[in-house]
Chains A and B, each alone.
Chain A
Amino acid sequence: MAMATPPLRPTSLRNLNLLLRTAPRFVQNQFRAQSTTSSKSSVNPTEVSHFNALASTWWDPQGSSRLLHLMNPLRHDFIRSCHAAQARPPPTSGLRYLDIGCGGGIFAESAARLSSTGLVTAIDPSPEVLAVAKMHARRDPRLSGKLTYLNTSIEGLSKPKSAEEQYDILSLFEVIEHITHPAEFLDVCKDFVKPGGWIVMSTIARTWMSWFTTKLVAEDIVGIVPRGTHDWEQYVNEQELRAYFLEGRGWNSPRVMGVIYVPGLGWKEVSGSENVGNYFFAIRKDE
């Protein structure tokens, strides 16, 4: 990937923090609210107002979400590598995507534009964020009819009644590390995936190196991710994910791709870096 990477504006650093943190928090909060119906459900009002500030910059590629914009093509490369690994290749058209925690729609829009895509359902429990996503999608008339945004959490989504209603790809980008009970959450997701379909996610490995790079290098040295962005204790470890999926729960073919943000170069796939930085992880549902 030969992307130019001008330095981030200092004013946008706070927004990146919010972008990386806040959307998934809503997911997390809502998830908690529905699974426990406890009083913990209240959404932090300061986070909501931060979000409104974020909305305007979500689609500014020079702004706080630049790292996500730059990473987005790699998500497609990764999904393509999953499909390429199948013994029987997937259909070349009509693929169905469910994007959970879609945020401003960076991935959802791009998935909807692919010629192999039939439809994309993109959900986010935050109405503000979804408003940004919907507003932005209007800039591309081609998306209408292919991309549907729903203001809901996955629990609020009605369960598919048949394989046709299930999805070929269920995506969870930068969501999972913010969820308190990953195993529960992934169980819910499972009903939405077609036999032979994939759950594709990206997250940050929970290792000392990851802590070192995201906390120390990224936050303090590079200054890209502001201090306090991630609660690293919550990062889901790849080994944990593998163990969870493969313990006779009807999943196979785990795949992983480590990516590292190299200032000046952009996101680079670095094999072995899944223990170090951000990584993509995918698992295929048994056919």
Chain B
Amino acid sequence: MKPLASSLRARQLSGYTCSSCTRQLRRQRRNYGTSSPRSPEVFDVVCVGGGPAGLSLLAALRANPITSFLKIALIESQSLTPLRSYAPSPTAYSNRCSSLTPNSVRFLKDIGAWEHVRAERVQGYGRMRIWDGVSGASIGFESESSGDGEEGVVAYMNENLNLTSALVKRVDGLGGVEVLDEQKVQDIKLGEDTEEGDFSSWPVVRTSEGKEVAARLLVGADGANSPVRTFSGIESRGWDYGRVGVVATLKMEGSGWGGEGAKIAYQRFLPTGPVACLPLPGDFSTLVWSTTPELANRLKGMSQGNFVSMVNAAFRLSPVDLSYLHDLKGGQADEVAWRVQHTPFEPEQVPMKVTSVQEGTIASFPLKLRHADTYIGERIALVGDAAHTTHPLAGQGLNQGQGDVESLARSITYSIEHGMDIGTRMSLESYNSERCTSYGAA
């Protein structure tokens, strides 16, 4: 058991789950020893997945006095320890960054997590320049004043690790969550009708450590390949874009044309997909280049110098030039330097020049669009990537997950205030209609 569990005993007996029942389950376990089948431990909320969505949900439920009495467990296949000891170097940034909308930041403030985010590693920006690489037409919103965040901020670039470590700190601080990390979901099945109660509508999760937990409400925050969604028989439909996203942490010539106080995000549409350069603090930026799997492989196979040149080219040269450069066996750096001199463009309309790429940050991931037919089932709710995945350039993946979590936490609160069983479909309906249908309409 993890540190969070220390204060759990007393809480378990005062939770939503009836105390005599919990006692009976314990007694029974003691009697039978370890060899015979044990009764699952009973929880109000079992959250599978400790990514941004799952951890936010835990923080939201624990921070709210109406829901804080719920008995909660988290199952996460990875260890949370590295998140607890997160101590990043100030001169390096992770390649897995997401832009957080002011609304997500507001929610993270509400649940008391934002103050644990390392602010010096977060970069707000108020302008985004978007243009078409074929026609050169600017389709961007240069929304200096339209941002609804502080001082016209449109979005905040942030490393996912900075967020998840802040969330873990918040959840640790609040306490009362039984953390079952470094354990995978092994299987999920429905419980049984026992002397202690009829658990035949309750999902029972068995972890790779052999731990069994029964869930009044099982939350699938377990990412795009959600085992909880599979258990629920909820279909997820969509398509592969046939594209991958190439990410990297870039070091730029300077802190940007507007300086440190007026950062700009850039996105250019190329025939193969959009390429984006998003500002991080100081001279750093993060790259998301969506392209074909084949071109992505070639980019990843290049020397760092050639890769850097290709990124500069992607924001400056014509699609014809780019396709020629992609086909070269090598020597892109020289070729780009020559072609840039002979291509007319306004330097201040494109990102500053990339000077280097941070070691080990060039990576790629497949882009998929997926949407679950429904976000709920009896005693099941899906949040985050388990419910939907989108193109990361929409900047919505993580933000939608935060929206899901806020809505689900609100549903749970309403149910508790009105004496509803938080796991039943009836209780979850408002979450589904708020999130699933609104997504469909969007």
Mind listing 24 A-B residue pairs with CB under 8 Å?
Answer: A1-B430, A2-B434, A3-B430, A4-B430, A4-B432, A4-B437, A61-B426, A61-B429, A72-B419, A72-B420, A76-B417, A76-B418, A112-B419, A113-B420, A114-B419, A139-B197, A139-B421, A141-B18, A141-B21, A141-B197, A142-B16, A142-B17, A142-B18, A142-B21
Q: Chain B's nearest CB lies how many Å from the CB of A144?
A: 6
Residue among B17, B417, B433, B437 making CB contact with A141, cutoff 8 Å: B17
Q: Does A111 contact B (CB under 8 A)?
A: yes
The range of chain B's interface size is: 20 to 34
Q: Does A140 contact B (CB under 8 A)?
A: yes
Set of chain A residues within 8 Å of B69, measured between Cβ atoms: 115
Residue among A4, A113, A139, A145 making CB contact with B433, cutoff 8 Å: A4
Given A112-B419, A113-B421, A114-B419, do A144 and B20 touch, yes or no (CB 8 Å)? yes
| A residues apposed to B, CB below 8 Å | 1-4, 61, 69, 72-73, 76-77, 109-115, 135, 138-146
Set of chain A residues within 8 Å of B417, measured between Cβ atoms: 76
Contact string, B401-427, partner A, CB cutoff 8 A, digits 1/0?
Answer: 000000000000010111111001110
Q: Chain A's nearest CB lies how many Å from the CB of B406?
A: 14
Closest B residue to A76 by beta carbon equals B418
Set of chain B residues within 8 Å of A141, measured between Cβ atoms: 17-18, 21, 42, 196-197
Q: Chain B's nearest CB lies how many Å from the CB of A93?
A: 12
Set of chain B residues within 8 Å of A144, measured between Cβ atoms: 18, 20-21, 197
Q: Chain A's nearest CB lies how many Å from the CB of B86?
A: 36
Q: Which of A4, A72, A112, A114 has the most CB of B within 10 A?
A: A4
Query: Bound state CA distance, A73 and B426, in angstroms?
Result: 11
Top 10 closest pairs, chain A to chain B, by CB: A110-B419, A4-B433, A73-B418, A141-B197, A141-B21, A138-B198, A113-B419, A61-B426, A142-B18, A141-B18
Residues A140 and B429 in contact, CB atoms below 8 Å apart: no
Residues B17 and A2 in contact, CB atoms below 8 Å apart: no
Residue among A73, A113, A139 making CB contact with B414, cutoff 8 Å: A73
Residues B198 and A2 in contact, CB atoms below 8 Å apart: no
Within 8 A of A (CB), among B182-197: 193, 196-197
Residue among B20, B425, B426 making CB contact with A145, cutoff 8 Å: B20
Query: Bound state CA distance, A166 and B25, in angstroms?
Result: 34
Set of chain A residues within 8 Å of B196, measured between Cβ atoms: 141
Set of chain B residues within 8 Å of A143, measured between Cβ atoms: 18
Q: Chain B's nearest CB lies how many Å from the CB of A238?
A: 25
Q: Does B358 contact A (CB under 8 A)?
A: no
Set of chain B residues within 8 Å of A138, measured between Cβ atoms: 193, 197-198
Q: Does B201 contact A (CB under 8 A)?
A: yes
Q: Chain A's nearest CB lies how many Å from the CB of B436?
A: 10
Given A115-B69, A138-B198, A139-B198, do A110 and B430 touch, yes or no (CB 8 Å)? no
Q: Chain A's nearest CB lies how many Å from the CB of B183?
A: 24
Set of chain A residues within 8 Å of B425, measured between Cβ atoms: 61
Contact string, B428-442, partner A, CB cutoff 8 A, digits 1/0?
Answer: 011011100100000
